[in-house]
Amino acid sequence: MTRRLHSGLAVLGGLALSLASPSLQAPAATAEERPPAYAQKLAEGKDLLDDKKYYEAVKALREADKLANGSCLECHLALARAYNKLGAWRDGLKQAEAALGMTSDRSRLAEAYNERGIALLAMAGDDMKQLAEAEKGFRQVLELTGGEGANAARFNLGYTLLRMSRDDEGVAALKAYLEQEPQGPFSEDARDLIETPLRARKRLIPDFELVTLDGSFMTSDDLRGKVVLLDFWGTWCPPCVAAVPTLRTWSQRREKDPFVLVSVSTDTDEAALRAFVAKNKMQWPQVWDGNHLFTSKCKVDRFPTYLLVSHEGEIVYKTSGWGPGIEEELRGKIFFAIRAAKESAKSK
């Protein structure tokens, strides 16, 4: 779910925020009272955050806030963002709420409310109360800003509404987002959600059209009704290579089941890939994703990564790496997914 929670000016308002009373907060240190090391640590933390080094950023920002006696608004805002990027939603929420109690500036409040909303939405699950809380905030940011510079809030609002099964409203919000940014950073996600609103409530595999090394054309529609194991790998990756014998066995033993194994290689050398596939008798569908387009679309950045897709097109399991524990767990997941596919076919 979290890949849909995008940054931008998203304000959650009208909520019963659990904030400390000003009288209980440490007195704010003025710029003159803060030691020189404070500014250095804050700048370091922000740079690390921009470089996506989130763990290091957290360490530097916490040190900066300590030097400011806990009164550093910039530290709390940046920490909220860093924690949310790490998926530490509760900490992100805590930092955002701390920031809310430290400023009345509309732009800074907007940043704090945005990170708070992202954390709440990520933790909501099927909790309609929390989702409704997020909805109120995303609507308020659009009202407070007049929609200027807050297009990400439209996306987040649309996604939240789809999560609540209010598809017509959600699709309308996503279309409004696309009107502002037809080629925006989240435009592909918006179009996918508009076409299939269920993607907001289930992890559906992206629609795809792939050509295998043997020249076959394969689409996501072709594989509906079958369990699909997507193996993202490369010949340069030792754990990927170590998994090949097991994958070959699974492919052979499951030939009569509603199961398809598809290996997607990120190798840069097609000839070397073809040679490896032939030498190791990898006779199941092989795809060369040399430009990483499909790999990126599936949000894969570690190798090997395995995505197990149900007969309904939902990603029911994802894991990375290889070893006895992963092999055993993945085998079990495949077994139960195939059984569900067979039972579904019988009931039709």
Would you state the pLDDT for residue 2?
A: 40
Say yes or no to pLDDT of 9 above 70.
Answer: no
Instruction: Specify the pTM.
Output: 0.63
Distances (CA, A) of 59 to 11, 84, 118, 198, 306: 27, 15, 22, 38, 32
Answer whether 45's CB lies under 8 Å from 57's CB. Answer: yes
Per-residue pLDDT reduced to its tens digit, 144-156: 788 888 899 899 9
126 is written with which tokens?
A: 């099927």
φ, ψ dihedrals at 306, nearest 5°: -120, 125
pLDDT given at position 11: 34
pLDDT score for 20: 25
Question: Residue 139 carries which side chain, given as an amino acid letter?
Answer: R
Q: Say which DSSP state 2 is in.
A: G
Torsions phi, psi of 4, nearest 5?
A: -90, -5
Dihedrals phi, psi of 80, to nearest 5 degrees: -60, -45
Residue 1 has pLDDT above 80, yes or no: no
Res 277 pLDDT > 70: yes
pLDDT top residue among 287 and 146: 287
| φ/ψ of residue 134, rounded to 5 | -65, -40
Return the percentage of the chain with pLDDT > 70, whole number. 91
The arithmetic mean of pLDDT across residues 24-47, rounded, is 75
CB 122 within 8 A of CB 6: no
Quick: pLDDT tens for 154-187.
999 999 999 999 999 999 999 999 999 999 999 9
pLDDT of 134: 87
Q: State the Cα–Cα distance between residues 75 and 65, nearest whole angstrom.
A: 6
Q: pLDDT (tens digit, 9 = 90+) per residue, 64-79?
A: 999 999 999 999 999 9
Alpha-carbon dihedral angle through residues 136, 139, 144, 150, given to the nearest 10 degrees:
130
> In whole numbers, what is the pLDDT of the chain averaged over residues?
89
pLDDT at 110: 83
Residue-level pLDDT at 25: 36
What would the pLDDT profile of 213-272 be if each residue is shown by its tens digit? Answer: 999 999 999 999 999 999 999 999 999 999 999 999 999 999 999 999 999 999 999 999
Give Cβ neighbours of residue 192 (< 8 Å, ≥ 6 apart). 199, 206, 207
